[in-house]
Amino acid sequence: MADLTIYLGNKNYSSWSLRPWLVLKRTTVAFDEIVIPLYQPTSKETVQKYSPSGRVPALRHGDRTIWESLAICEYLAESFPNFDLWPKDLAARGMARAVSAEMHAGFHALREHLPMNIRSSFPGRGVTPEVQADINRIMALWRDCRSRFGDGKGDFLFGNFTIADAMYAPVVTRFRTYKVELERDAEIYCDTIMAMPAMQEWVVASRNEPMIVEAYEF
């Protein structure tokens, strides 16, 4: 049994679970994972055994428990500093934290109308004016990060993969599911995220899940 265990929701639907899982995979440290089917009568009771908030994801590291996606990512960055999960440059690191926090707290219209559903395809569905405004803001953030800190240094927002990329990975899957029209540079960035071996592993697992949540199969 590994010293680290991450508790996740359904891989097809749980955007919050994907984020710290990608970061944990980046560390290459051995870990166990437990997927708890959500939206079932016993889901909340089961999750509360592992997460004080009653929500996933949660991370157990020895006798410690950390919950909330961004907090788990921060904990991993501090626990495994050799993997540079935040940019080394102070200005870049500050911006990476800012765009990650904006993702954590914002984009409510996109979350509501374009829920994560990796194995389905709903071209053009749910793109209200408010959702389009969120999409435009995300593309602007990506463009700014790449032009200021990523251009010529690598394919991710800040050159190499960081927590910021993990925070936006579920958005990339949404853009694919709903066939959102994007700027060319945003499309290229989405291709970069989807081509990651860890991302491909998650996608395969999501497609093989037996659980179906009808509310997200509209």
92-106: pLDDT as tens digits: 999 999 999 999 999
Render pLDDT for 146-200 as a digit per residue (tens, 0 to 9).
999 987 778 999 999 999 999 999 999 999 999 999 999 999 999 999 999 999 9
Averaged confidence pLDDT in the chain: 94
If asked whether residues 196 and 133 sit together in one domain, one would say yes
Q: How far is CA 218 from its chain centroid?
A: 22
User: Of 173, 69, 47, 83, nearest to 122 (Cα)?
Assistant: 173
Alpha-helical (H) ranges within 42-155 are 43-47, 69-79, 90-105, 108-113, 129-145
**Where residue 143 falls among pLDDT bands split at 50, 70, 90?**
very high
Final residue of a domain: which of 51, 83, 115? 83
Beta carbons within 10 angstroms of residue 25's beta carbon: 19
Model-level pTM?
A: 0.95
Q: Please report the DSSP string for 33-54 in residue order.
A: EEE---SSTTHHHHHTTT-TTS
Asked if the model's pLDDT at residue 1 lies above 70, the reply is: no
If asked whether residues 99 and 154 sit together in one domain, one would say yes
| Domain that residue 125 falls in | 90-201
Asked if the model's pLDDT at residue 74 lies above 90, the reply is: yes
Does residue 218 fall inside a structural domain? Answer: no
Looking at per-residue pLDDT, the higher value among 47 and 172 belongs to: 172
The pLDDT assigned to 195 comes to 98
- Mean pLDDT score, 113-126: 95
The pLDDT assigned to 2 comes to 72
CATH number at residue 186: 1.20.1050.10
- Mean pLDDT score, 66-83: 97
Give Rg (Cα) of the chain: 17
